[in-house]
Amino acid sequence: MNRQPMNRQQRRLAARRGREGAGAASPRVVPADPTAILAVSVGHHQAGRLAEAEQGYRRVLDHQRGNADALHLLGLVRHQRGASEEAATLIARAIKTHPGEAAFHGNLADILRALGRPDEALAHCETAIALDPGYPEAHNNLGNALRELGRLEDAAIAYRQALRLAPGLAATTETNLGHVLADLGRDADAEAAYRRALNREPGSADALAGLGGVLAAMHRIDEAIAALTRALTIAPRHLRAWLGLGFALKAADRPDEALDAYRRAIEIDPACAAAHSNLGNILRERDRGDEAIIAQRRALAIDPGFAEAHSNLGIALNDQGQVDAAVVAFRQALALAPDLAAARSNLLLARNYQPGIGRGQALAEARDWQRHHAAPLAGGAALMPIRANPSGGCGWAMSRPIFAPIPSPPFSPPCWRRMIAATSRSSATPTWPAPTRPRSACAG
């Protein structure tokens, strides 16, 4: 049973509701008046006695079906007990009765984001802030929703505003700020945010996991492993920490231990697409190609829009001589993420080994690669023209050192969406759970 405590805004609102009925009865007495029942139920709620609190809130609603406070607080209990859809419905009913209560909108936003509905969450965060600009939890939740939607700079602004309003929120909000800075590739700034969070809450597994991720992205592998191991000592089932540890162990050339880490992540969340894809990358490098293909296909069954997994599947298929299928996988990756350099480069390599490709097709593929990737890097400088050569293919397309399978550029691991991280040893595209990019790859 989830006995997650109320946050500060929830406690403040519940305490106010409880004071309105104070003196009616002690929490161990069963009153008959709805106001007194509400006060007793708030006491149970604040003490973590969720079943008793739920029972009391339902008794209030038996007497007063439209009691907004009881609907809201019952919604919080149901969310804490894992029934988030019901919770959202209850708090929405409370808002219909009292649309001007900022806490109702703020808490509904948090639940909607947990349900994977960030657009709706964003709207309720904005309403909560319009009603109460000094509501720090709403600014924090606004940052969470913006991050889910990929508006990373705006998310960072929201987190910083929450920190200005309530320094007491710092451990949680600094961790969230660290996650979004990591998403933006600002690893040093993310490290600083995580360390500020840990100064306030040394036992924060979330901050330790985030710190380990950015340390790994900065190639400070021993420090990363130490931070991630500490996170797992505190929270043995911390999904992000297992994913980060898998990446760090692989970078430390400890592939068997990395495999174990990814398997632990899958045990915790079998629907974590990033864990399956990263597992597949290591299996491929261990010459277990058939298993690698199965792992990438499992990732894509979970998340068909996972561009990096399509790219990794293409590499595994190409290694097994299934060039036509690899080309299809690379093209699917690029349809989802046109700027994914690894997929386009590996597509160009695969096309050069695909039977029946004409010189004109190969030349077009090479020029497409140059337009998408070489030209932006050149910053307007003239590029050497790509011309067909008499032996087939295009001028330099057969040069394996240039077109060997490559990873995407390194990114920092975010608050548990998926990102890409490169190592010099890997020709695949290792992936982080993202809360990275806006779509969720894994829970946690």
CB 251 within 8 A of CB 221: yes
- Give pLDDT tens digits for 157-178: 999 999 999 987 889 999 999 9
Give the CA distances from residue 177 to residues 143, 155, 165, 190, in Å, rounded to whole numbers and listed in that order.
8, 8, 15, 7
pTM: 0.74
Both tokens of residue 112? Answer: 């909607």
Please check whether residues 301 and 411 belong to one and the same domain.
yes
Identify the residue whose tokens are 């990446």.
247
Dist. CA 267–CA 236, nearest whole Å? 12
Closest CA to 182 of 442, 439, 436: 436
296 has pLDDT over 80: yes
Q: Decide: 330 and 343 in contact? Cβ < 8 Å.
A: yes
pLDDT band at 415 (very low <50, low <70, confident <90, very high): very low
**How many CB atoms are located within 10 Å of the residue 409 CB?**
11
Is residue 442 scored above 80 in pLDDT?
Answer: no
Is the domain of 332 the same as that of 412?
A: yes
Residues 331 and 189 in one domain: no
- The arithmetic mean of pLDDT across residues 113-132, rounded, is 95
Is residue 405 over pLDDT 50? no
The answer to whether position 361 is within a domain reads yes
**Proportion of the chain above pLDDT 70, given as a percent:** 74
Residue 288 covered by a domain: yes
Does one domain contain both 334 and 192? no
Domain match, 319 and 228 both: no
In-domain check, residue 237? yes
Look at the chain and report how many structural domains it folds into: 2
* 214 and 288 co-located in one domain: no
pLDDT, tens digit, for every residue of 190-247?
A: 999 999 999 999 999 999 999 999 999 999 999 999 999 999 999 999 999 999 999 9
Q: Mark whether 328 and 234 lie in a shared domain.
A: no
Q: Which pLDDT does position 443 carry in this prediction?
A: 40
Q: Taking 90 as the threshold, does the pLDDT of residue 51 lie above it?
A: yes
**Within a domain: 417:** yes
- Rounded to whole angstroms, the Cα distance separating 51 from 45 reads 9
Residues 283, 334, single domain; the answer is yes
* CA separation for the pair 288, 168 (Å, rounded): 50
Residue 244 lies in a domain: yes
Per-residue pLDDT, 333: 95
Confidence of residue 398 (pLDDT cuts 50, 70, 90): very low
Q: Are residues 306 and 358 located together in one domain of the fold?
A: yes
Per the CB < 8 A criterion, the answer to whether 40 and 62 are in contact is no
CATH number where 183 lies: 1.25.40.10
Give residue 185's domain range.
178-252
